[in-house]
Structure 1
Amino acid sequence: MGDSSRCRVCVTGGSGYVASLLIKKLLLKGHIVHATLRNLDDELKVRVLKSLPNATTNLLLFKADIYEPHQFEDAIRGCRIVFHVATPLLRTHGSQFIDKVEASVSAEVKIAKLCVELGTVRRLIYTASVVSMSPMKEDGSGFKDYFNESCWTPLNLSYPFSNSHLKAYVDSKTLTEKELLKFGESKESEGLEVVTLVCGLISGESPHRPSPALTTIITFSQFIDESEPFKLLRYLEELDGKVPLVHIDDVCDAHIFCMEQSSIHGRFLCATSFLSSSDIANCYRLHHPQLQQKHGECDEVANRNIRMNPNKLIEKGFKYKYDVDMILEEAFHCCKKQFLD
């Protein structure tokens, strides 16, 4: 496809943390972007997107709700690449689906089929999550000694710190990704290349948000009074063995990298670091000894011998810009004003 090409692309969930920065980067590269929003009457979200560079000429907004997947047809029409970033969070009134698991899987299949039916789409890039990549053994007896694209979260197990909302999220992300990859390998895909980018805990500043994103707060959660973000951190390390971290800038660049390849398909882990909560706390204490830790660590996690292998994407030629110290330092500055000042 080539770095110099300019094309028409679709980004679903356009006002989200990742999607809004991805749209900005795409516009700066000169692409025409079709962005979807659940509500075009949300003046704040619309204004943020319309204020992006080159938005006046190159950004088109479309109303589309993931619980009504047929609504994405107009946004996808004429596009060469579809970035499916949107994830169903809440059930809308009168939805045809039982829950967000069914909604996510059904919507993904419908969007993939639309990509084929409309004829112009060459690649579908799905923003997946490491909640689908647990290295837990199928029988729940412990973790494998590796964390890579071969790992799939066993959905029949219960995990510490879980609740009904987290279970639904994990089920939906795991089943949706599996279904999408299966579709990409089927005859029905008719040559549509399907990529799933399995992103770690995403941290970093978003210029479009006045306050830190929840995932950034989770990264710094051991040093704030609120308990819920820390529970989410502990949940993730009990699910994945440790915490895979990645910077939002690298996540968006990885999406664009996958877009610009002449050919690419399959599952790719997008993460730079694999740390326990103890490791994270130690990094913060080293650079900011004045910080007061609010929540205890779990030494057992720090002793887990699980190795992350993110080389599949790197071997394709992708280069990360942010190492773990840079990620944690930015999370500190993002959260400092809201939680420490």
Structure 2
Amino acid sequence: MNGGGNIVCVTGASGYIASWIVKLLLIRGYTVRATVRDPNDQKKTDHLLALDGAKERLKLFKANLLEEGSFDHAVDGCEAVFHTASPVTLTVDDPQAELIDPAVKGTLNVLKTCTKMSSVKRVIVTSSIAAVVAHVSVIGPNSLVDETMFSNPNFCEEKKQWYALSKTLAEDAAWKFAKANEIDMIVMNPGLVIGPLLQPTLNLSVDVVVDLTKGKDPFMSKHYRFVDVRDVALAHIKAFETPSANGRYIIDGPVVVTLNDIEKVLREFFPDLCIGDDDKNHVDMKLDLVTYKVCVEKVRSLGIEFTPTETTLRDTVLSLKEKSLL
């Protein structure tokens, strides 16, 4: 299916994943209405306006997650809404105000707008693997993580995992609202997303790669699982374009890579790189959780073929260098 003539909305369009969704939608012929907090903030919008097809088929709209009705104008007349807008940060002073309210109220705000617009056929919400894997039972190397699993809000709160809590509560509220209002909603649950940046600034997940190129091991973990931002963006679009698509989709790297694997790839660019593999870093192996197996059959059924991790890492570094972020 091609998007010729279809009008869709992307919320939080200047973000990392959202920018790629906008780029791929434009390539596929869609007309895109993109919401941003401030359409006049060039640092947040120039990279969108520079995309192929943007002149003809991209329009920016001002909207705020906490302002009820502020998405109405952008969504009116759209067939699909890709709701990606949600704060991404791991360090907060006030989790409620900085993460939970914008995530939960923002999602409900967008969904309420969708119930008012008869044009909207399907809503695709960007959640996170953080809304899947944070719970009391330890997930070990033989555990299989799939779409039936939900993070436990009490566990998130107890462990002060505020980002996971915001994603879990927002997704839970979204499902309840969608069921009550008969919205055709699909939720995407990406893992740790890396790959080339379209925006000029660093985002949280790609910052992990910056740390690794400096020989740091940001998660104190011997194992990493990465997924390519281009695969994640395409999966969002396929979820709209595939009539039988439904429920949740985990989009995570099917392969676990070790610090040594990562170092091998990065050495091409940084010949004298040594990533800290000192055992004292790995005392708290509770954090070494990504050794679980993840079921990606469901997202593969949308026609997603995963980009090899080496390619993604390479492309990430090239992009960071090009943008002078390294």
TM-score, length basis structure 2: 0.82
8 Å CA contact 1:276–1:302 kept in 2: the answer is no
Quote the RMSD (CA, aligned, Å).
3.3
Q: 1:189 corresponds to which residue? A: 181
8 Å CA contact 1:278–1:302 kept in 2: the answer is no
Closer, same or farther: CA 112–279 of 1 in aligned 2, 3 Å: farther
| Further displaced range: 272-281 or 120-129 | 272-281
Percent same amino acid at aligned positions?
24
C-alpha distance in structure 1 between counterparts of 2:17 and 2:169, whole Å: 21
Once the two structures are superposed, the pairs formed by residues 1-341 of structure 1 within 5 Å of their partners are: 2-3=1-2, 6-88=5-87, 98-134=97-133, 138=136, 145-157=143-155, 167-184=161-178, 186=179, 188-190=180-182, 192-209=183-200, 213-219=203-209, 221-224=211-214, 230-231=217-218, 233-234=219-220, 243-275=224-256, 277-278=258-259, 280-281=261-262, 283-284=264-265, 290-296=271-277, 298=282, 300=285, 306-315=292-301, 317-335=302-320
Residue 8 of structure 1 deviates from its aligned partner by 0.6
Unaligned runs of 5+ in 2: 90-95
| Further displaced range: 74-83 or 212-221 | 212-221
8 Å CA contact 2:81–2:120 kept in 1: the answer is yes
C-alpha distance in structure 1 between counterparts of 2:34 and 2:138, whole Å: 41
Residue 98 of structure 1 deviates from its aligned partner by 4.5
SS in 2 for 1:273: coil
Residue 158 of structure 1 deviates from its aligned partner by 6.4
8 Å CA contact 1:224–1:339 kept in 2: the answer is no
Residue identity in the other structure for 1:313: V
SS in 2 for 1:83: strand
8 Å CA contact 1:205–1:212 kept in 2: the answer is no
C-alpha distance in structure 2 between counterparts of 1:52 and 1:98, whole Å: 33
SS in 1 for 2:59: strand
Residue identity in the other structure for 2:292: I
Closer, same or farther: CA 264–277 of 1 in aligned 2, 3 Å: same
C-alpha distance in structure 1 between counterparts of 2:260 and 2:189, whole Å: 22
Closer, same or farther: CA 150–285 of 1 in aligned 2, 3 Å: same
Closer, same or farther: CA 154–279 of 1 in aligned 2, 3 Å: farther
Residue 72 of structure 1 deviates from its aligned partner by 0.8
8 Å CA contact 2:38–2:62 kept in 1: the answer is yes
Residue identity in the other structure for 2:165: D
Unaligned runs of 5+ in 1: 91-96
Residue 266 of structure 1 deviates from its aligned partner by 0.6
C-alpha distance in structure 2 between counterparts of 1:303 and 1:206, whole Å: 27
8 Å CA contact 2:82–2:125 kept in 1: the answer is yes
